[in-house]
Amino acid sequence: MNSTLKEQIKAQIRECKAEVIAIRRHLHMHPELSFQEEETGRFIAAQLAAWGIPHEHGIAENGVLALIVGEQAESDQVIALRADIDALPIQETNEVPYRSQRQGLMHACGHDVHTASLLGAARVLWQLRTQFSGTIKLLFQPAEEMLPGGASVMIREGALENPRPAGIFGQHVYPVLEAGKVGFRGGRYMASCDELYVTVTGKGGHGATPHLTVDPILIAAHLVVALQQVVSRNADPTIPSVLTFGKITSTGGSTNIIPQEVKLMGTFRTLDENWRSEAHQRMQRIAEHLVQGMGGHCDFRIEVGYPYLSNDEALTARARRYAEDFLGKDAVVDLPIRLTAEDFSYYSQVLPACFYRLGTGNIARGITANVHTSTFDIDEEALEIGAGLMAWLAICELAEK
């Protein structure tokens, strides 16, 4: 790839770095929840309009779609770049000038970083559009954090059509990796994610006369243990799977009162769609038979979530090569499989996709908090790579075709 163009990208990013940081801070101060990102969508659209970049606002409610067409020569090649824009219902406890100004809301998963990086990449790509051929489609996607996932809505509303990309890149903050580095993994990378809602109904009564009741707490305790065999004894050991119940509550109940009803909430995650479907059936059968056998009634509901995320092997291998060229080999690392989930997986089911990690941590400065915590923050030096590498990946992939 043209080394001069690479240096131009780096120079342009350095020039607008302060603006990208300011954009990230503005977004961080004004978080909005999934499918409520009205101000965020307008802000993104206004930035693109100020730079003269053609765009459409309002796809999937608050999403923004933009196109940058290279002018070096005619080409029908298209590549997509994606950023998510929503925040989380977490109260920020960081004492920083740009802390969230909205009670109980926070960009605790780095979507402000993703959006600022893609805006930075957009500005640079627009300025350098005479230096490359092909079309770059930019997806600013709402609602990654909430089912059914903004990605599925974007796809349904045609975000991947007219023109259709040959592949798509997405990045995500990674606080355990130092700023200045990025990570890649080809093939299966992140898990599917299903939500489990179980209600066990028994017969309440006095704690001193359990023989006159059907104790839903005892049944629920047996059920939590029994369902673990779905992973420990039914799953192929080579397929990563996890079943976790994170909440158990009862209706009524006290030290001497057996309640009428117990509710359980959990998650099931794996990296194989066939096993995922089989596990759903096994869990429901175990629950219904066990609870009925102990005299109770069970309502077992599965909210089917995101599919597993698979990075296209060839596209990811090329992306890694592009990143090593842009940053140096020492700055690019291998990633382990994760059982967390991401709705970028929907894109990976319909297009060659590459979802990689952007190092944002800085141990020396104490920037180590994980995502989805009230103290999450980033080393903002990572934004230079976050924006620059996205632009470089897109241009390199267009040239590869």
| Sign of the CA dihedral with 349 first, then 283, 222, and 234 last | negative
Which residue in 37, 86, 343, 379 is the catalytic one? 86
Round to whole Å and give the CA distance between 325 and 389.
10
Round to whole Å and give the CA distance between 377 and 368.
8
Find residue 334's DSSP bridge partners.
Answer: 184
Round to whole Å and give the CA distance between 31 and 24.
11
Is there a catalytic annotation at residue 342? no
Find residue 136's DSSP bridge partners.
Answer: 68, 79
Round to whole Å and give the CA distance between 113 and 389.
13
Which residue in 32, 84, 112, 144 is the catalytic one? 144
The SS3 of residue 83 is strand
DSSP classification of residue 89: S
Altogether, the residues listed in the chain come to a count of 401
Q: Which amino acid is at 4?
A: T
Is there a catalytic annotation at residue 144? yes
Structure-block tokens of residue 117: 């990086």
Q: Are 108 and 92 in contact, with CB atoms under 8 Å apart?
A: yes
Q: Are 7 and 393 in contact, with CB atoms under 8 Å apart?
A: no
Find residue 359's DSSP bridge partners.
Answer: 174
Round to whole Å and give the CA distance between 237 and 1.
43
Residues annotated as catalytic are 86, 144
